[in-house]
Amino acid sequence: MLTRRSQVIAGILLLLIVTVEFGGVFMTQVVNGNVETTDFQASFWRAGHAHAGVLTILSLTAVLLADGARVAWGAVGWLARLAIPAAGVLMSTGFFVSALGDGATGPNGFVVILGLGGISLAVGVVSLGLSLLLPRLQLPAT
């Protein structure tokens, strides 16, 4: 059973899937040639859309795993539940905004957001993994 905090996180994540759907509509326009892009832009935007969807689903899984293992709500528990969704937002945003600009053939300075997303993803999965492996990071059995 999900804690109330995790229910809120999961609810927000499910609503974020609608933004991924809008990204899919945009990507359909790109693939159909209705949006003028360079090959670089199309590939970065495709990667941004894919990362948004995959990391949102991974985030939902992480929340379920954390609550299922009764991971405590300390700093590590919060990271285990929130760093992965943050990575999804950061990475997809990084892919999209670093490819903006007419005729862009390489990333602009916003590409640094991708790195921040990668760090957030690593922090989230390591926090969750350690929380699942180390009983002292879990709530006592009732």
Residue 24: C-alpha distances to residues 30, 61, 84 (Å): 10, 22, 21
Residue 76 one-letter amino acid: V
Report helix, strand or coil for 71. strand
pLDDT above 80 (res 142): no
Mean pLDDT of 126-137: 92
Given a cut of 90, whether residue 140 has pLDDT beyond it is: no
Measured between alpha carbons, how far is 112 from 79 in angstroms, rounded to an integer? 21
pLDDT averaged over the chain? 95
Mean pLDDT of 89-101: 97
**Token pair 């609810």 is at which residue?**
11
Q: How confident is the model at residue 138 (pLDDT cuts 50, 70, 90)?
A: confident
| 136 pLDDT higher than 90 | no
Average pLDDT score over residue span 87-91: 97
The CA-CA-CA angle for residues 32, 34, 93, to 5°, reads 90
Percent of the chain with pLDDT strictly greater than 70 = 99
End-to-end, the C-alpha distance of the chain in Å comes to 14
Least confident stretch, 31-45, 47-61, 127-141: 127-141
Domain ranges of the chain: 4-137
- 30 φ, ψ (degrees, to nearest 5): -65, -50
